[in-house]
Amino acid sequence: MLKRVAKILLETAVYVGIVIGILWGVPNLLSKTLGTEYPIAAITSGSMWPVLKQNDIVLIKAVPKETLAVGDIVVWQNERGFTIHRIITLNTDTLVTKGDANFTSDDPIAYSDIVGRTVMFGSKPFRIPFLGSVAVLGRNLGSQAKVE
């Protein structure tokens, strides 16, 4: 009986360790690999529909200002959290973005506010459908910023 309880406790500890390792390790590994403090973004609105859908997860890679181009999908930080939209104009000190499904463009953004560009898979942004709902749930519990 004691051996069985010890075995159950050991197996539980191993599974908890694996889950903690994944939840801590994957974001840290992605952060180091992609060069940004925010390597994962959950899509919380329909502003980038149909390319990105609400509750998608996308990966974000830090990129130098010089490599940004019109048409790139970037994440930028603002007073409400984070926004993910497509670049429509590049200026010397700022850039302008717009959600694909939005009628108006965003106000100009300083390059210093850019977190990164979406990781592409071929000609499309790499996205994981529906997984963003888990991230949004976590944010609602107080652990993440909003990405629009």
- Tens digits of residue pLDDT in 82-122: 999 999 999 999 999 999 999 999 999 999 999 999 999 99
Residues 6+ apart with CB under 8 A from 102: 47, 85
Residue 136: pLDDT band (50, 70, 90) is low
Residue 135: pLDDT band (50, 70, 90) is low
Q: How many residues does the chain have?
A: 148
CB 97 within 8 A of CB 84: no
Give the residue from 24, 25, 23, 49 showing the smallest Cα distance to 134. Answer: 23
CB 148 within 8 A of CB 81: yes
- Mean pLDDT score, 121-148: 69
pLDDT digits (tens, 9 = 90+) for 1-52: 888 999 999 999 998 888 887 777 888 888 899 999 999 888 989 999 999 9
Where are the alpha helices (H) located in the chain, listed in sequence order? Answer: 2-34, 132-140
Q: Model pTM? A: 0.78
